[in-house]
Structure 1
């Protein structure tokens, strides 16, 4: 059974939980991170020297970095529909996963810490406004993509890429800011609710 180290409120931990649900993989989760067991202790640092969650232990194979973890799980336990083997189809999935981890995450970081986490260090009005503008701009890129596919981010069927993208859309919707009218994103969000794993680990009241 796969062991997952990390608190369930972490968006990166929820990627792994949702992926396990999609693959019908049994798992055990332990609470690590802020408010729970410290990731700064030697026991955890031996597993991940970056002191970040999630970390998995799959029968002695230890891995960190959420997108690397879900790629590994899809490679080992998934099928061609979920994470395509064809180089071009797989590259499209990877492209959107990497976009979520870099461009999109960087866009929403300040606004999320300000509006949801209420971080005192993230209350500058100009930086907040710039972050909101950037966040909405990147969701607009996703809107254009979903208008093109008419379904999911990598094409006409659900793939591994929809896990990090779907959780990011949930975070955007749940954050109290002015949201532009993006009908394809709204339809996509509703489409994701056909997946029980998304309801459990995405659209569950946690941004």
Structure 2
């Protein structure tokens, strides 16, 4: 039985939960992280020295980093629709997964920590505005890509890239910032809402 360590409110834990749902793999989840069991204890650090969730434990195999876990889960059951075998098709999926973990995540962090988490260290109005603007610019990059190459991030077929991007877009929608009207993003989200795991994890009807 696969064990997933991490609280379900974590966006990175949700990525793994969605990947598990799409691949039909049974698992047990334990709550770790803020508000639950501390991740800075020896028991957890032995699994992930970064003291961060999620961590996947599959028998004696331990893996951290949410996007890597998603790749592992698709590969384990041979889901080449989610992570293609063809080098070019696979590279496109991984390109958007890596972009989500780097450029997109970096842009929203300050605004999200200030406006949603209300963290005391994130209160500078100028930095909040700059972060929100960068966030919108990056979503605009995805919007233009989807308009030209969609309907999904890697083309015609749903993939792991859509799991990580879909949850990031849900965070974008739920953060109280002004957002441009992106037509391709709206169509994309309509497609994602057809997937039961997305609806369950985001609370979308």
- TM-score normalised by the shorter chain: which range applies? over 0.9
Secondary structure of the 1:48 match is coil
| 1:53-88 deviation line (CA, Å, top 9, x unaligned) | 000111221101101111111111142211100000
Give 1:91's aligned residue.
91
In structure 2, C-alpha distance between the alignment counterparts of 1:131 and 1:27, rounded to whole Å: 36
Q: TM (normalized to structure 2)?
A: 0.97
Q: Check whether the contact 2:97–2:164 (CA below 8 A) recurs between aligned residues.
A: yes
In structure 2, the residue matched to 1:47 is: 47
> Quick check: 2:55–2:62 contact (8 Å CA) kept in 1?
yes
Match of 2:72 in 1: 72
Structure 2 CA distance for aligned equivalents of residues 28 and 156 of structure 1: 32
SS for the counterpart of 1:184 is: helix
Distance in 2 (CA, whole Å) between partners of 1:166 and 1:133 is: 19
**Which residue matches 2:32?**
32
Q: Flag as ranges the 4+ runs of structure 1 deviating above 6 A.
A: none
Q: What do the CA deviations read for 1:127-150 (whole angstroms, capped 9, x no partner)?
A: 011001100000000000110123
Which structure 2 residues correspond to residues 194-205 of structure 1 after superposition, within 5 A? 194-201=194-201, 203-204=202-203
Aligned to 2:105: 105
Q: Distance in 1 between matches of 2:78 and 2:121?
A: 42
Unaligned runs of 5+ in 1: none
Q: Aligned residue for 1:167?
A: 167
CA distance in 1, matches of 2:118, 2:51: 23
Helix, strand or coil: the match of 2:53? coil
Separation in 1, partners of 2:164, 2:78: 16
SS at match of 1:71: helix
Match of residue 183 from structure 1 = 183
Q: Deviation digits for residues 115-168 of structure 1, max 9, x if unmatched?
A: 110112111111011001100000000000110123100101100110110000
C-alpha separation in 2, matches of 1:187 and 1:176 = 21
Displacement, 1:180?
0.2
- Count of residue correspondences: 204
C-alpha contact 1:23 1:78 (8 A) present in aligned 2: no
